[in-house]
Structure 1
Amino acid sequence: MAKLSLFDRRRRRVRTALKARAGGRPRLSVHRSGRHIYAQIIDDAEGKTIASASTLTKGSKGPGATCDAAALVGKTLAEAAKAKGVTAVVFDRGGFLFHGRVKALADAAREGGLEF
């Protein structure tokens, strides 16, 4: 068995804790790259994406690797989720630390009306 990277260990730990407390709620999954940030709300029971937003979608302005851009993605995602009738989610940060762009996205999604 190969040794896991710290990122992969964090991802497994987060996902395990997330499954334990999900309670049938959809999952808000975040992926952060060097240039962009992506977020989607996924219904794991059906295996379908309910809503998604990223710095690559239409209407996003400026560079994608900033906290302001991440906050705009969070706000956009919250609006899309509310339009589909989703208000409560569980936050899946993957193996990313809850800091900087990931935190900005989460805070904006909360301000937009999502509960987690």
Structure 2
Amino acid sequence: MRTNILKRKLSLRLKRKRRIRAKISGIANCPRVSIFKSNRTIYAQAIEDVTSTTICQSSGKVLNLKANKEGAINLAKDLATKLKEKGIEEVVFDRNGYLYHGVIASFADALRENGIKL
């Protein structure tokens, strides 16, 4: 019973992910910022979709952050500084199928607070 619930949650997230990715794309001066969260940590990367390259990335595992709101805020600060070093001020936010709530929302808000326009 429990595995069916987890499979359904994952399939719904993947459906949302495909729906979102059909509408957004990142270019060199406005990359796509994608976030991934597991039960233990969170990861974020800025992707330029034309050449399929990662411009910069930030990992909660490297920074010893947990997958909670505080960890998301610190991860966003780290990613924002890396983006500013590359001269990028504006990005497209890809929530990767997750609902815009909790950790994902606090990550996006922290990016805005650190001077990155979403």
In the superposition, the TM-score normalised over structure 2's length comes to 0.83
Report matched runs for 1:27-106 at 5 Å. Answer: 27-57=32-62, 60-61=63-64, 63-106=65-108
Work out the percentage of aligned pairs sharing the same amino acid. Answer: 41
Q: Shift of the alpha carbon at 1:90?
A: 0.3
Report matched runs for 1:4-43 at 5 Å. Answer: 5-19=11-25, 25-43=30-48
- In structure 1, what is the Cα distance between the partners aligned to 2:66 and 2:114? 20
In the superposition, the TM-score normalised over structure 1's length comes to 0.85
User: 1:42 and 1:23, CA in 2 relative to 1: closer, same or farther beyond 3 A?
Assistant: closer
Paired residue type of 2:31: P
Q: What residue ranges of structure 2 are gaps of 5+ in the alignment?
A: 1-9
Question: Runs in 1 of length 4+ with deviation above 6 angstroms?
Answer: none
RMSD of aligned alpha carbons: 2.0
Q: What residue ranges of structure 1 are gaps of 5+ in the alignment?
A: none
